[in-house]
Amino acid sequence: MRTLFIIVLATLSVGCSSRSALDRHLDNAYKQYELGNCDQVMLELSQAERRSRPRDNLQPEISLLRGQCLERQGLFVDAVETYRFIGSRYPASEYAFRGRARLETLRQLGHYQPEERVVTTAVKP
């Protein structure tokens, strides 16, 4: 019984430290973004992603911050693809809404042209 208790306690402490490390990486990413250091942001986001794999609910937030950094670096095509990923994979999240807003801003600035829908009609021979 004592061994089981120790195993459970050890398992819980590993989960807590993993969550705190994930939070630390996300916090650091936001701090570095405020400072304009996108290289460090990308590093922190990569580390946060590795720790969040079992918790997929953080991926949209990580992706949105990554897209914002890509924009800041002038990598508009990559930013667009990142925002589109959020919208397709997590359509109901607040981050999908934010991603769509960023896409609209990029469109207005001339950095993004959504595909035009082509309507075809059948022609009788």
| pLDDT (tens digit per residue) in 8-65 | 444 444 444 567 888 899 999 999 999 999 999 999 999 988 887 756 788 999 999 9
| Cα distance between residue 75 and residue 68, in whole Å | 10
Q: According to DSSP H, which parts of 36-58 are helical?
A: 38-52
Q: What is residue 115's predicted lDDT score, i.e. its pLDDT?
A: 78
Instruction: Report whether 65 contacts 45 (CB < 8 A).
Output: yes
Q: Label residue 1 by pLDDT band (50, 70, 90).
A: low
For residue range 72-105, what is the model confidence (pLDDT) as tens digits?
A: 999 999 999 999 999 999 999 999 999 999 999 9
| Cα distance between residue 87 and residue 24, in whole Å | 26
If phi over 0 gives left and psi between -120 and 50 gives alpha, with beta otherwise, what is residue 124? beta
